[in-house]
Amino acid sequence: MNMNLATNNSMQEDCLVANIYAPDTDETNLPVVVYVHGGAYQVGFGNWLTPKTLVQSKRIVAVTFNYRLGVHGFLCLGTEDAPGNAGMKDQVALLRWVKKNIAEFGGNPNDVTIDGYSAGSSSVDLLMLSESTKGLFHKVIPESGANVGVWSVQIDPVENAKIYAKALNFSNVDDIYALEEFYKTASIELLLTDTFMDRYDSTFLFSPCVERETRKEVFLKEAPVDILKRGKYRKFPVLYGFANMEGLIRALYFNNWKDRMNEKFSDFLPADLQFENEEQKEELAKSIKKFYFDDKPVLNETFVAYINYFSDVMFTYPTLRSVKLQVEAGSDSIYLYEYSFVDNFVSRLVNLPEFKDYFKDINLDSVSGANHCAQTWALLDDNNLFVIPNEIVSDDTEKMRSLMRELWLNFMTTGKPVPKGSSLPDWPSVGADWSPHMSLGKNIKLGGSLLPERARFWDAIYEKHYRTPAPPPPPRARRYNEL
């Protein structure tokens, strides 16, 4: 069932539509899961992936929805008309609607899990920190994305707006009101010229931001790291994790980027690092390149190191950093996992005709790992959008999907992926040392600290060089002749 939630007929970005999946049962007061779709905050829609199979378990009611994206969703100028986070405020509006109405569809408004993948994962992690979401949900599942990630919150949102406006041939970028008017009046076709997926610095330009105080409701008042360090946020049971080769999301840029990475690796450092001077930046870039590539150049033979680098910068380290900060702040119900099941899936997939030529010079036998959001693909249905040939989906893959759905449904209904009395291996909550974690591969087993060497390497870097996201500065007052 589709429910249009827009209440203002003058809205120009009328996209807030809820898709409700209710099981065929007389049961009422079922736990609810709200899914937030991914797409780098630039693309995607609610039914990109669907929870049909999860709902057929008759244990939950599920909701998917659209929210504003790109410039329309995440332009952040700090003005009254463009304060920022429109897309996140859409998500809050959806959760408020669920709170008020989901009982009519058999759901329990007092037992809501928010679950998201990729940018949706970053979203639910941020929703957990916002004062505007009080009472709207009770459990959180971020799948491959964290609130402290380099692409999750804009470092300098006004500068980002200027960068894109200049790329679209608008020159008067230093006048904040002229800049605002440009974005207000630009055609949708013009604004969609770029989706920012290929930026060296691992950002996507337009994403959530720290807002300055205006007369409108604020979604995020402080940088996530500062909120987590203060510990002044609502603590929830959280099921956190990522795939073991998240960086495969950058695989298709490898041939275009490898020479540049050898010439100037510092161009590929994450945008949320800052330096006293260029010499310090180059020195750190050299040490990072050595850590991953061991004094070897970025070549086909070091493709896995390339993947590991982008895995850590974009997904694994931000998740581990957020987990550590939350545990140190008193969260004691966080369950950490690494998903690594592939069943030769990646190698077989990249050998399909459309990928074979691109990867012809790379030893694919060494690339056996789970891609970005692979766990989400195991859980949800693809809605015929990304059709994977049946001949590469094995019985083992179907068994893994069944296991993943059991774990996730357990968490959605009890707050624990392995509740008391389950036949599955015991899964305790994680500590600040990233131990224990559940390894979700061909065999499910409890492990110790997750990627401790890589996490501590980045901890030391971010302790010294972290650049905290900042809100836009107050715009100057308009002169009379500008009104």
Q: Among all residues, which ones are annotated catalytic? A: 118
Q: Which residue in the block uniquely carries the two structure tokens 């600040």?
A: 432
What is the Cα 368 distance to its own chain's centre?
Answer: 23
Angle at 164 between CA 163 and CA 168, to 5 degrees: 120
Q: Report how far residue 66's alpha carbon sits from residue 83's, in angstroms, rounded to the nearest whole number.
A: 20
Q: Residues 217, 132: contact at Cβ < 8 Å?
A: yes
Cβ atoms 220, 78 nearer than 8 A: no
CA-CA-CA-CA dihedral for 120, 121, 123, 129, to nearest 10: 160
Helix (H, G, I), strand (E, B) or coil at 19: strand
- Two tokens at 303? 């493709």
DSSP β-bridge partners for residue 19: 2, 64
Q: Which residues pair with 334 in a beta bridge?
A: 238
Q: Which residues of 311-332 are buried (b: 16+ CB within 10 A; e: fewer)?
A: bbbbbbbbbbbbbbbbbebebe
Element (H, E) at 62: strand 61-65
Per DSSP, the three-state class of 4 is strand
Round the CA-based radius of gyration of the chain to a whole number and report it. 22
DSSP label of 313: I
- Integer CA distances (angstroms), 109 to 7, 56, 103, in order: 21, 20, 6
Half-sphere exposure of 116 (CA within 13 A, CB side): 31
d(CA 189, CA 43): 14
Neighbours of 233 (CB within 10 A): 17
